[in-house]
Structure 1
Amino acid sequence: MQAQDSGTKLRGPAVWALVLTGVASFMAALDNLVVTTALPAIREDLGGGLEDLEWTVNAYTLTFAVLLMFGAALGDRFGRRRLFIAGLAVFTGASAAAALSPGIDALIAARAVQ
Protein backbone atom coordinates (compact mmCIF):
# COMPACT_ATOMS: atom_id res chain seq x y z
CA MET A 1 0.00 0.00 0.00
CA GLN A 2 2.89 2.39 0.68
CA ALA A 3 4.34 1.85 -2.78
CA GLN A 4 1.02 2.83 -4.30
CA ASP A 5 0.86 6.03 -2.24
CA SER A 6 4.37 7.10 -3.24
CA GLY A 7 3.56 6.34 -6.89
CA THR A 8 0.52 8.58 -6.67
CA LYS A 9 2.62 11.37 -5.19
CA LEU A 10 5.10 11.18 -8.05
CA ARG A 11 2.42 11.50 -10.71
CA GLY A 12 1.43 15.02 -9.62
CA PRO A 13 4.80 16.70 -10.38
CA ALA A 14 5.20 14.69 -13.59
CA VAL A 15 1.78 15.78 -14.81
CA TRP A 16 2.53 19.42 -14.01
CA ALA A 17 5.89 19.20 -15.81
CA LEU A 18 4.14 17.76 -18.86
CA VAL A 19 1.44 20.45 -18.79
CA LEU A 20 3.94 23.30 -18.40
CA THR A 21 6.24 22.08 -21.16
CA GLY A 22 3.22 21.49 -23.38
CA VAL A 23 2.02 25.05 -22.81
CA ALA A 24 5.53 26.40 -23.53
CA SER A 25 5.72 24.40 -26.77
CA PHE A 26 2.28 25.64 -27.74
CA MET A 27 3.39 29.25 -27.11
CA ALA A 28 6.42 28.79 -29.38
CA ALA A 29 4.33 27.25 -32.16
CA LEU A 30 1.62 29.88 -31.79
CA ASP A 31 4.22 32.65 -31.97
CA ASN A 32 5.51 31.32 -35.30
CA LEU A 33 1.97 30.91 -36.62
CA VAL A 34 1.00 34.45 -35.66
CA VAL A 35 4.09 35.97 -37.27
CA THR A 36 3.66 33.94 -40.45
CA THR A 37 0.04 35.02 -40.69
CA ALA A 38 0.93 38.67 -40.04
CA LEU A 39 3.70 38.91 -42.66
CA PRO A 40 1.63 40.97 -45.14
CA ALA A 41 0.68 43.45 -42.40
CA ILE A 42 4.29 43.57 -41.16
CA ARG A 43 5.51 44.39 -44.66
CA GLU A 44 2.89 47.10 -45.06
CA ASP A 45 3.52 48.71 -41.66
CA LEU A 46 7.28 48.31 -41.23
CA GLY A 47 8.45 48.05 -44.82
CA GLY A 48 11.27 45.82 -45.86
CA GLY A 49 11.65 43.36 -48.65
CA LEU A 50 11.11 39.66 -48.93
CA GLU A 51 14.53 38.98 -47.38
CA ASP A 52 13.58 40.98 -44.30
CA LEU A 53 10.35 39.05 -43.92
CA GLU A 54 12.26 35.79 -44.21
CA TRP A 55 14.62 36.94 -41.45
CA THR A 56 11.63 37.88 -39.31
CA VAL A 57 10.59 34.23 -39.28
CA ASN A 58 14.04 32.65 -39.43
CA ALA A 59 15.67 34.74 -36.68
CA TYR A 60 13.45 33.03 -34.10
CA THR A 61 13.82 29.53 -35.50
CA LEU A 62 17.58 29.77 -36.03
CA THR A 63 18.43 31.05 -32.55
CA PHE A 64 16.01 28.55 -30.99
CA ALA A 65 17.71 25.64 -32.77
CA VAL A 66 21.25 26.87 -32.09
CA LEU A 67 20.71 27.57 -28.38
CA LEU A 68 18.57 24.52 -27.56
CA MET A 69 21.42 22.30 -26.35
CA PHE A 70 23.11 25.20 -24.58
CA GLY A 71 19.87 25.88 -22.71
CA ALA A 72 19.65 22.23 -21.71
CA ALA A 73 23.18 22.37 -20.32
CA LEU A 74 22.36 25.57 -18.41
CA GLY A 75 19.25 23.87 -17.03
CA ASP A 76 21.37 21.01 -15.73
CA ARG A 77 23.79 23.42 -14.13
CA PHE A 78 21.47 26.04 -12.62
CA GLY A 79 18.19 24.12 -12.34
CA ARG A 80 15.56 23.48 -14.93
CA ARG A 81 12.80 25.34 -13.12
CA ARG A 82 14.94 28.45 -12.64
CA LEU A 83 16.04 28.45 -16.27
CA PHE A 84 12.49 27.83 -17.50
CA ILE A 85 11.20 30.83 -15.56
CA ALA A 86 14.09 32.99 -16.79
CA GLY A 87 13.46 31.88 -20.37
CA LEU A 88 9.78 32.61 -20.06
CA ALA A 89 10.57 36.12 -18.77
CA VAL A 90 13.02 36.78 -21.62
CA PHE A 91 10.51 35.44 -24.16
CA THR A 92 7.76 37.68 -22.77
CA GLY A 93 10.00 40.76 -22.75
CA ALA A 94 11.22 40.08 -26.28
CA SER A 95 7.62 39.58 -27.41
CA ALA A 96 6.75 43.01 -26.03
CA ALA A 97 9.80 44.48 -27.77
CA ALA A 98 8.73 42.84 -31.03
CA ALA A 99 5.23 44.25 -30.67
CA LEU A 100 6.59 47.75 -30.04
CA SER A 101 9.37 47.65 -32.65
CA PRO A 102 9.47 50.80 -34.80
CA GLY A 103 11.12 49.14 -37.81
CA ILE A 104 11.87 45.85 -39.45
CA ASP A 105 15.43 45.68 -38.08
CA ALA A 106 14.22 46.07 -34.49
CA LEU A 107 11.59 43.41 -35.13
CA ILE A 108 14.19 40.96 -36.42
CA ALA A 109 16.41 41.62 -33.41
CA ALA A 110 13.51 41.11 -30.98
CA ARG A 111 12.54 37.87 -32.76
CA ALA A 112 16.12 36.63 -32.40
CA VAL A 113 16.02 37.35 -28.65
CA GLN A 114 12.73 35.51 -28.35
Structure 2
Amino acid sequence: MSEFSCNRRMFLLGTATTFAGAFLAACGSEPAVEVAAADVPVGSATIFDGFIIAQPTEGTYVAYSQTCPHQRNPITEVKGDTVRCTYHDSVFNIADGSVVSGVARDPLTPATVEQEGDTLSVSS
Protein backbone atom coordinates (compact mmCIF):
# COMPACT_ATOMS: atom_id res chain seq x y z
CA MET A 1 0.00 0.00 0.00
CA SER A 2 1.28 3.46 -0.90
CA GLU A 3 2.39 5.85 1.79
CA PHE A 4 0.02 8.46 0.28
CA SER A 5 -3.12 6.40 -0.20
CA CYS A 6 -6.48 8.14 -0.22
CA ASN A 7 -9.22 6.56 1.83
CA ARG A 8 -12.80 7.75 2.03
CA ARG A 9 -12.22 9.75 5.23
CA MET A 10 -9.23 11.62 3.77
CA PHE A 11 -11.10 12.27 0.53
CA LEU A 12 -14.12 13.74 2.37
CA LEU A 13 -11.90 15.79 4.66
CA GLY A 14 -10.00 17.22 1.69
CA THR A 15 -13.21 17.97 -0.19
CA ALA A 16 -14.77 19.69 2.83
CA THR A 17 -11.65 21.75 3.44
CA THR A 18 -11.49 22.85 -0.20
CA PHE A 19 -15.19 23.77 -0.21
CA ALA A 20 -14.88 25.72 3.06
CA GLY A 21 -11.93 27.71 1.72
CA ALA A 22 -13.75 28.57 -1.50
CA PHE A 23 -16.90 29.51 0.43
CA LEU A 24 -15.02 31.80 2.81
CA ALA A 25 -13.17 33.46 -0.06
CA ALA A 26 -16.45 34.11 -1.87
CA CYS A 27 -18.06 35.55 1.26
CA GLY A 28 -15.17 37.86 2.04
CA SER A 29 -15.53 41.60 2.03
CA GLU A 30 -15.54 43.58 -1.16
CA PRO A 31 -12.12 44.89 -2.11
CA ALA A 32 -11.25 48.49 -1.29
CA VAL A 33 -12.13 51.14 -3.83
CA GLU A 34 -10.19 54.39 -4.18
CA VAL A 35 -11.94 57.56 -5.30
CA ALA A 36 -10.78 61.17 -5.53
CA ALA A 37 -12.53 63.18 -2.80
CA ALA A 38 -13.24 65.87 -5.42
CA ASP A 39 -15.42 63.34 -7.32
CA VAL A 40 -17.93 63.18 -4.44
CA PRO A 41 -20.27 66.20 -4.57
CA VAL A 42 -21.10 68.09 -1.37
CA GLY A 43 -24.69 67.35 -0.30
CA SER A 44 -24.93 64.36 -2.61
CA ALA A 45 -23.30 61.06 -3.52
CA THR A 46 -21.71 59.03 -6.26
CA ILE A 47 -21.98 55.31 -6.96
CA PHE A 48 -18.71 53.57 -7.73
CA ASP A 49 -17.75 49.87 -7.92
CA GLY A 50 -20.40 48.53 -5.55
CA PHE A 51 -20.37 51.44 -3.10
CA ILE A 52 -22.37 54.60 -2.53
CA ILE A 53 -19.93 57.30 -1.44
CA ALA A 54 -21.53 60.46 -0.05
CA GLN A 55 -20.48 63.84 1.29
CA PRO A 56 -23.55 65.03 3.24
CA THR A 57 -21.70 68.12 4.49
CA GLU A 58 -18.44 69.55 3.24
CA GLY A 59 -15.50 67.40 4.34
CA THR A 60 -17.66 64.65 5.90
CA TYR A 61 -17.63 61.40 3.93
CA VAL A 62 -19.79 58.32 4.47
CA ALA A 63 -20.21 55.18 2.40
CA TYR A 64 -22.65 52.31 2.03
CA SER A 65 -22.97 49.11 0.07
CA GLN A 66 -24.70 49.68 -3.26
CA THR A 67 -26.88 46.65 -2.53
CA CYS A 68 -30.44 47.49 -1.50
CA PRO A 69 -31.33 45.81 1.81
CA HIS A 70 -34.85 45.02 0.57
CA GLN A 71 -34.16 42.34 -2.05
CA ARG A 72 -30.44 42.75 -2.76
CA ASN A 73 -30.86 44.66 -6.05
CA PRO A 74 -28.35 47.38 -6.91
CA ILE A 75 -29.13 50.98 -6.02
CA THR A 76 -28.57 52.91 -9.22
CA GLU A 77 -29.92 56.42 -8.83
CA VAL A 78 -28.62 59.47 -6.94
CA LYS A 79 -30.94 62.44 -6.58
CA GLY A 80 -29.71 65.26 -4.37
CA ASP A 81 -29.32 63.98 -0.82
CA THR A 82 -30.98 60.61 -1.50
CA VAL A 83 -30.30 57.43 -3.43
CA ARG A 84 -32.98 55.20 -4.92
CA CYS A 85 -33.32 51.54 -5.76
CA THR A 86 -35.28 51.58 -9.00
CA TYR A 87 -36.48 47.96 -8.64
CA HIS A 88 -39.03 48.66 -5.88
CA ASP A 89 -38.68 52.44 -5.50
CA SER A 90 -37.00 52.50 -2.07
CA VAL A 91 -35.32 55.81 -1.27
CA PHE A 92 -32.53 56.27 1.30
CA ASN A 93 -30.96 59.32 2.98
CA ILE A 94 -27.24 59.68 2.17
CA ALA A 95 -26.35 61.21 5.55
CA ASP A 96 -27.29 58.18 7.65
CA GLY A 97 -28.52 55.50 5.23
CA SER A 98 -32.04 55.56 6.69
CA VAL A 99 -35.13 54.69 4.65
CA VAL A 100 -36.96 57.78 3.39
CA SER A 101 -39.71 55.98 1.47
CA GLY A 102 -40.55 52.74 -0.31
CA VAL A 103 -40.83 49.09 0.68
CA ALA A 104 -37.38 48.73 2.25
CA ARG A 105 -37.47 48.56 6.05
CA ASP A 106 -33.75 48.30 6.81
CA PRO A 107 -31.19 51.08 6.32
CA LEU A 108 -28.30 50.89 3.90
CA THR A 109 -25.35 48.74 4.98
CA PRO A 110 -22.50 51.04 6.06
CA ALA A 111 -19.02 50.75 4.57
CA THR A 112 -15.72 52.08 5.90
CA VAL A 113 -14.28 55.31 4.48
CA GLU A 114 -10.70 56.38 5.09
CA GLN A 115 -9.30 59.61 3.73
CA GLU A 116 -5.65 60.11 2.92
CA GLY A 117 -5.00 63.47 1.38
CA ASP A 118 -7.31 63.90 -1.60
CA THR A 119 -8.09 60.18 -1.89
CA LEU A 120 -10.91 58.22 -0.27
CA SER A 121 -10.52 54.48 0.30
CA VAL A 122 -13.82 52.62 0.78
CA SER A 123 -14.21 49.01 1.89
CA SER A 124 -16.83 46.74 3.43
Q: Which structure is higher in RCO with an 8 Å CA cutoff and minimum separation 6?
A: 1
Q: Tell me which interval the TM-score lies in, with the shorter structure as reference length.
A: 0.3 to 0.5
Structure richer in helix, relative to its length: 1
Structure richer in strand, relative to its length: 2
Answer with 1 or 2: which has the greater Rg: 2
Taking structure 1 as the reference length, the TM-score comes to 0.42
